[in-house]
Amino acid sequence: QQQVKQSPQSLIVQKGGISIINCAYENTAFDYFPWYQQFPGKGPALLIAIRPDVSEKKEGRFTISFNKSAKQFSLHIMDSQPGDSATYFCAATGHNFNKFYFGSGTKLNVKP
Amino acid sequence: DTGVSQDPRHKITKRGQNVTFRCDPISEHNRLYWYRQTLGQGPEFLTYFQNEAQLEKSRLLSDRFSAERPKGSFSTLEIQRTEQGDSAMYLCASSSGQGGNSQYFGAGTRLSVL
């Protein structure tokens, strides 16, 4: 059973637009929710992360929105750039960080 | 470069052979994770070490897979009697366990089982 469900599978956005990627989880014991960016041939790199005690976290052009009651969180990329074209993964883990569950990924293509 | 290092980058083997991968984490990181990633999917957790202790292991992991982290430094992942279904990217990540526990990933070892 997939612990973290991610959508959409792929996304095409015009340069300057907003990219939105959504994730949902079931396990209420999850305590930390990171987002990763992965380019071809590279390992994932941490972008931004949030804990469930806040509803939003912003770092530069990247914002996480978190809805604890709905058990959903999303990544917003403002002013999307062609260099943002990559695959994005959401993930979740419990308070001891012993095991991370990843979503299936969203391939983002930002058109110039 | 003091990031996470994985060796080899690519491995081609025949079905039934044993393979071993190595991961060198960032030097001060006491947490080390192994993941498997297939094309078009997210990383799938395999196992977790805190220092030299293996504290978590995926129930999905066949007993053909074993991992070690002697002395809490580098780690090895061995796959015995490889099968075609083992073909994947094997990723290693490390973290210091401080603050937000940011995981730093290596570039991975791509395994192809013929």
Interfacial A residues in 58-97 facing B (CB < 8 Å): 89, 91, 97
- Quote the mean pLDDT of chain A: 95
Residues facing A35 on adjacent strands: A48, A90
Residues of chain A in contact with residue B41, where contact means CB-CB under 8 angstroms, are: 104-105
Please tell me the distance from the alpha carbon of residue B41 to that of residue A100, in angstroms, as a whole number.
14
Rounded to the nearest angstrom, the minimum Cα separation between B16 and chain A is 27
Please tell me the distance from the alpha carbon of residue B13 to that of residue A17, in angstroms, as a whole number.
45
Instruction: Kindly identify which residue of chain A lies nearest to residue B60, measuring between CA atoms.
Output: A1
pLDDT on residue A56: 96
Neighbour tally for B38: CB within 10 Å: 12
pLDDT on residue A21: 98
pLDDT-based confidence at B99, cuts 50/70/90?
low
Neighbour tally for A102: CB within 10 Å: 25
Neighbour tally for A64: CB within 10 Å: 23
pLDDT on residue B98: 63
Per residue in A39-88, pLDDT (tens digit) is: 998 999 999 999 999 999 999 999 999 999 999 999 999 999 999 999 99
Residues facing B91 on adjacent strands: B35
